[in-house]
Amino acid sequence: MTQGEVGQDAPALGRMPGALAWVTNRLGMEELVEDQYNRIVPIHATNYMYCFGGIAFILFLILVVTGILLVVYYQPTPDGAYQSVVNISTNVAFGWWVRSIHKWAATGMVILVFVHLLRVFFTSAYKRPRELNWISGVVLLIVTMAFGFTGYLLPWDQKAYWATRVGTDIAGSTPFIGHFLLVSLRGGENITGATLGRFFDLHVLVLPVVIVVFLGAHFWMIRRHGISGRL
């Protein structure tokens, strides 16, 4: 790259921290960075009603960090699950704080994703050419609720047991495939250690992969089509 070419990249890279600008330059991502810096955000998008999706994503990042910290001490076994949660809450430094943040961030994310979809619906932002973005958003809501449902069992206490029993019974009442869903979720007819293992695997392995894929598609389509019209 010549000196003149480096000068052309300066406007975009000059606004970035030195280390990040260095990495961006070496990866040849100058055009992508320039597009991000120069993209104009519509004035109506500064309305707080357009912030719910972004706040939900921030809560998701908080959940990732706190979830990693919690899983270090959590034991996904019938004998160790409850005691490991007690240990996190009482003996691990700041464990009660991290667990509380994880719990309330999860609740907040479910609410905000739902409110975000309501905003999209009532502002007709799901119409052409954003139909696929709407579908991906609905999938993200379902995945977010699945995160909450599978995570609720992990403390392995009475409250978690009965909530999971009610939830799986509801799934079991689905016409034609109800029994299949119930057995698949529980790992049998009853809630046992197999259920705990399945919910843990879904919560920390399967659902994170699914949500990252759909978040990537969701954000890409937002960048592709832009932010929808004003309220």
169 pLDDT higher than 90: yes
Residue among 228, 59, 20 nearest 128 (CA): 228
154 pLDDT higher than 50: yes
129 pLDDT higher than 70: yes
pLDDT tens-digit series, residues 212-231:
999 999 999 998 888 776 65
How confident is the model over 189-214, as a mean pLDDT?
97
30: which residues sit within 8 A by CB, 6+ positions away? 9, 12, 13, 24
126: which residues sit within 8 A by CB, 6+ positions away? 120, 133, 134
Q: What are phi and psi of 57, to 5 degrees?
A: -65, -40
The residue ranges of every structural domain in the chain are 3-38, 46-225
Sign (positive or negative) of CA dihedral 20, 22, 25, 31: positive
**CATH assignment of 46-225, among 3.40.800.10, 2.40.50.100, 2.60.120.590, 1.20.810.10:** 1.20.810.10
How confident is the model over 136-151, as a mean pLDDT?
97
Residue among 209, 153, 214 nearest 186 (CA): 153
- Asked whether the beta carbons of 131 and 142 are under 8 A apart, the reply is no
pLDDT tens-digit series, residues 44-66:
667 888 899 999 999 999 999 99
